Amino acid sequence: MRIVLLGAPGSGKGTQAQKLVAGQGIPQVSTGDLLRAELKSESALGLRAKTDMDAGRLVADGLVLQIIERRLEKDDVRNGFILDGFPRNRTQAEDLARLLAEIEKPLDAVLLLDIDMEILSKRLTGRRTCSVTGKVLNIHFSPQQDLDACIAAGGELLYRDDDNEETIANRLGVYQEQTRPLIEFYRSAGLLRVVDAMGTVEEVAQRMQEALDS
């Protein structure tokens, strides 16, 4: 299946994408992860993307399209993929449709993770990654034993560079202005399936599965 996950930053897209990877046996393609890898390797593309990423703004469409094109040429996406964090505006959605039409592999579904905007802020400001296990945790919502397990393993709970308050506000603003209109775009295309993203990871994962089966 070829799936797009749509949702505000903090709606649980990354976590649910990982669940879908396990359930569907197809890879997650996250433009955020791909861009962070470019940054880490200090590639020309990564360096060009850095200022916008640090500020929580969208990276130029041309750069994102370049990395997505490269990624969708790989063998492991032949049977499908879960797009997480792409498209994020109308231009990217049209680019994606064109790209997939060229290879005659259109999208099967767009899953919208629907969530209360107030909860989002807590999810984003509380998000940490364990430096040892790589597990994504939240100081407000994760069970204390999971947080303790990271420390017991000798790890630290690290912020992502773009998880500070100003950047978070920018990212939510960008979502409202540029990404939210994609809900209507995909609804009119008959691809949209709305999933209630409130509740535990397992509950939301179950709803995602039901939305895909329906």
Would residue 88 show up in a list of annotated catalytic residues for this protein? yes
What minimum distance in Å lies between the beta carbon of 131 and ligand AMP?
18
Whole-number Å distance between alpha carbons of 109 and 191: 5
Site map 40..79 versus ligand AMP, x via CB under 6 A: ------------xx--xxxx----x---------------
Give the pair of three-digit tokens for residue 154.
């000798």
Nearer to ligand AMP, 60 or 153 (CB): 60
Asked about 50 being catalytic, the answer comes back as no
Active-site residue identified among 71, 88, 128, 193 = 88
Q: Which of 208, 213, 211, 4 is nearest to 106 (CA)?
A: 4
Q: Rank residues 12 and 32 by Cβ distance to ligand AMP and give the closer one.
A: 32
How far apart are alpha carbons 193 and 186 in whole angstroms?
9
Nearer to ligand AMP, 58 or 197 (CB): 58
Least distance from ligand AMP to the Cβ atom of residue 102, Å: 19
Options 13, 19, 123, 193, the catalytic residue = 13
Distance CA 21, CA 14 (A): 11
Can residue 31 be called a binding residue for ligand AMP (CB under 6 A)?
yes
* 209 token code pair: 């599965």
Among the listed residues 2, 19, 171, 193, the single catalytic one is 171
Compute how many residues bind ligand AMP; rule: CB under 6 A: 17
* List 9, 95, 115, 128, residue binding ligand AMP (CB under 6 A): 9
Give the residue numbers marked as catalytic.
Answer: 13, 88, 127, 160, 171
Chain residues that interact with ligand AMP, rule: CB under 6 A: 9, 31-32, 35, 52-53, 56-59, 64, 85-86, 88, 92, 162, 171
